[in-house]
Amino acid sequence: MTTIMYGIPNCDTIKKAQKWLNDNNIPFTFHDYRKDGLDNELLAQLYVTSSWEQLLNKRSTSYRALTEQQKETLDETTVRPLFIEFPTLIKRPVVIHQGNAIVGFNIKNYQQFFAV
């Protein structure tokens, strides 16, 4: 089964995670939200492995740009169109490996997740 990393290529966290995967000989494909897209079908797949709360990047510029009302009314339904319109609202990277997901990058967590 293929390992897939989702994100945007100019993100420093993505670059660190890619380096770690390459250094540990874990082959993966990269899905660029901006180039390859993000639609309801892909979002539904991400929701199978992670909750919308886990995916929401509250430190992103996109999140800070939301109105207070948008932030206060966020739930699984209201966040969907925002994720699609602003993929940078999703924490990076999201990596799917053998049907499981890991969100964000932390060396210790990656070591456990990939059992390296």
Catalytic residue list: 11
Report d(CA 116, CA 108) in Å as an integer: 10
- Cis amide leading into 81 (omega within 30): no
C-alpha dihedral sign at 46, 51, 54, 58: positive
| 28-32 and 3-7 strand pairing | parallel
